[in-house]
Structure 1
Amino acid sequence: MRIMAFDYGTKRIGIAVTDPMQIIATGLDTIHPMHIIDYLKKYLQTEQVERFIVGEPKQMDNTPSQSAIHVRGFVNLLKKTFPEVPIEMLDERFTSKMASAAIAQSGMGKKARQSKELVDTVSAVILLQSWMSKGF
Structure 2
Amino acid sequence: MEHIMETPTLKAPAGRFTGDVHLNMIETPSAPAHLASALVRFTPGARTNWHSHAKGQVLYVTDGVGLVGTRDGSVVRIGAGETVKCPAGEEHWHGATDTTLMAHIAMVVGDGGGDGTTWLEPVTDEEYTAALKLTGR
Please, what TM-score do these two structures have when normalized by structure 2?
Answer: 0.29
**Higher strand fraction (1 or 2):** 2
Bigger relative CO (Cα 8 Å, ≥ 6 apart): 1
